[in-house]
Amino acid sequence: MIDFSRAQLTHFIIHYTGNKSLGEELTLSETCFEFKDDFVKDTVLRYFQSPFKTDVYHQFKNKSDFDIKDIKAISEKIFNSRKNFVEQTKHIAEHLYNQSMHPKIKGGEFYVCFFKDVIVDGELCDTIGLFKTENKETYLKIYQHVDNFDMDCDTGININKLDKGCLIFNTEQERGYKLSIIDNNNKVAECATYWEVDFLNATLKENGYYHTSNFIETCRGFCEEILTEDNNVKKEDQMMMLNKSTAYFKEKDKFNIKEFEKDVMVQPELIKAFKDYRKDFSERLDFNSIDEFDISPTAVKKNQKYMRSVVKLDKNFHIYIHGRHDYVERGYDEAMGLKYYKLYYVNEE
């Protein structure tokens, strides 16, 4: 939980980082920005702060060699002293500019803020904010005169959608700080991770969200790779596993592997197969697996679309099965020469 109710913005500066590979400019400010009135300031702060409402946290990765452009190192300097705030933000902007090498990365205004007294998960701490605007929208301006109206148009920033942002909290420094990252403009596959990975050099923190997401991904992989017809497992059994796994994560606050095996897997041979797959899967994807953790509702909601029980029949039909797999019958019609599903139900809604 991130709370800005007591926060004070003490430093704020704007730079511009273009696309380096396209020869666009890097424009650096020499002084901090001064807001002309409280309305503009409050609007900007709402634009920066409102998207950060999630329990997903990241941390900086460790670097083997000290780099003056390393965001973690620069953040530590800013937290220790704001005396050279402007110069340090220039280093950050230069680093972002040097990472903007793919031709589809959009240039935009780059903002660096320093907040006092932000509350994150109950802890009061200083916070550095890094934000970038990449998209502009056209809007209309209406002017009223004495007996008529006038109209004009301009381009500007939609304050309801932050393109890119990162909050760096001055806590857990020894573990790479605690970060909250927003990236709403990462649809191009070739440059989808340049903000989080190339620029920030960040990775997910090992919290409830991290472990919940990884375990759900493991369950999905197990169903798609192991519980298959090639391994003599019926589609209905695969879907039942997905449904029971989804129900477990929706109903529970805490995860326990023994409880999960008892409630979801049930059969000893299935439990053993899942243990073997889980070990191999975590090694392949290089993440840590633990047997007990707090379940993250955010991770459950985000991954729910991947846990749907859907039977896709050719290109004609999709059957969504949410439960009562004993009401589903599968067979082969010799006269038609086609497979079929028969569904039993009580009431039609």
Contacts 24+ apart (CB under 8 A), 68-73: 69/94, 69/95, 69/98, 70/95, 70/201, 71/95, 71/130, 71/168, 71/199, 71/200, 71/201, 72/176, 72/177, 72/201
Residues 228 and 278 in one domain: yes
Q: DSSP letters of 210-271?
A: HHHHHHHHHHHHHHHHTSSGGGT--HHHHHHHHHHHHHHHHH-SEEEHHHHIIIII-SHHHH
pLDDT digits 0-9 by tens, 184-202: 988 887 888 899 999 999 9
201 and 69 Cβ atoms separated by less than 8 Å: no
In a domain, 66, yes or no: yes
pLDDT digits 0-9 by tens, 94-141: 999 999 999 999 999 999 999 999 999 999 999 999 999 999 999 898
Residues 135 and 195 in one domain: yes
* pLDDT value at residue 65: 47
Residues 108 and 232 in one domain: no
Say which range, 22-31, 202-211, 284-293, 295-304, has the weakest mean pLDDT.
295-304
Query: What are the residues whose beta carbons fall under 8 Å from the beta carbon of 61, sequence distance 6 or more?
Result: 176, 201, 202, 203
224/242 Cα distance (integer angstroms):
10
- Which residue, among 244, 255, 226, 267, has the nearest Cα to 322 in the 3D structure? 244
Residues 148 and 71 in one domain: yes
In a domain, 348, yes or no: no
Residues 92 and 178 in one domain: yes
Residues 199 and 256 in one domain: no
pLDDT digits 0-9 by tens, 162-174: 999 999 999 999 9
In a domain, 54, yes or no: yes
48 and 165 Cβ atoms separated by less than 8 Å: yes
Residues 44 and 150 in one domain: yes
Instruction: Tell me which of 204, 225, 254 is where a domain ends.
Output: 204
pLDDT digits 0-9 by tens, 64-76: 444 556 899 999 9
194/165 Cα distance (integer angstroms):
13
Residues 147 and 14 in one domain: yes
Residues 285 and 230 in one domain: yes
Alpha-carbon distance values, 11 to 15, 54, 119, 227, 249 (Å): 14, 25, 18, 55, 42
Count the domains in the chain: 2
pLDDT digits 0-9 by tens, 1-55: 899 999 999 999 999 999 999 999 999 999 999 999 999 999 999 999 999 877 7
Instruction: Render the burial of 257-279: b for 16+ CB within 10 Å, e for the rest.
Output: beebbeebbeeeebbebbeebbe
Q: Where are the alpha helices (DSSP H) in 286-340?
A: 297-303
Residues 165 and 21 in one domain: yes
Name the 3-class secondary structure at 69. coil
**Residue 309 pLDDT > 60:** no
- Which residue, among 66, 108, 68, 112, has the nearest Cα to 86 in the 3D structure? 112
- Which residue, among 340, 213, 235, has the nearest Cα to 289 in the 3D structure? 213
In a domain, 152, yes or no: yes
Give the pairing of strands 108-120 and 2-3.
Answer: antiparallel
In a domain, 349, yes or no: no
Q: What share of the chain is helix, strand, coil (3-state, %, to 5)?
A: 40, 30, 35
Residues 56 and 99 in one domain: yes
Q: DSSP letters of 86-116?
A: HHHHHHHHHHHHHH--STTPPPEEEEEEEEE
In a domain, 285, yes or no: yes
pLDDT digits 0-9 by tens, 134-160: 999 998 989 998 889 999 998 989 888
**Residue 259 pLDDT > 50:** yes
* pLDDT value at residue 64: 45
Residues 144 and 292 in one domain: no
Q: Give me the domain span that covers residue 264.
A: 209-343
Instruction: Tell me which of 176, 204, 232 is where a domain ends.
Output: 204
Instruction: Tell me which of 156, 186, 204 is where a domain ends.
Output: 204
